[in-house]
Amino acid sequence: MDGQVYGALGQPGVGFLMAIVIGAIAGWLAEKFTSSDMGLFSNIIMGILGGLLGNFLAAKLDIAVFGFWRNLLSATIGAIIIITIYRAIRGRSMRY
């Protein structure tokens, strides 16, 4: 370990409550960008998972993600990717 203390979403300074807020907003934005129809709980889950994916991808690309707006942007991009992959998988399984 590097001795750094990380909060929610793998970022310092992002606590549990803020991760839910960012997740809800990011999930809602991703829902609007992908023309999906999900509920509040799904938006929060997609936003939090999107935040983890977005921060992981940003770290691999050496892009610094810190602060509310950058976390929101990375979570939204990650949620859009997750929704797109989910739709692709679900669409293939329904073609039987």
Q: Is residue 62 part of a domain?
A: yes
Residue range of the domain that includes 65: 16-91
pLDDT at 64: 83
- Which pLDDT band holds residue 95 (cuts at 50, 70, 90)? very low
Count of domains for the chain: 1
Q: Is a pLDDT exceeding 90 seen at residue 51?
A: no
Q: Is residue 4 part of a domain?
A: no
The larger pLDDT score, comparing residue 33 to residue 11, is at 33
- Which pLDDT band holds residue 2 (cuts at 50, 70, 90)? low
Using CA atoms, how far apart are residues 67 and 75, in angstroms rounded to an integer? 12
Using CA atoms, how far apart are residues 26 and 13, in angstroms rounded to an integer? 18
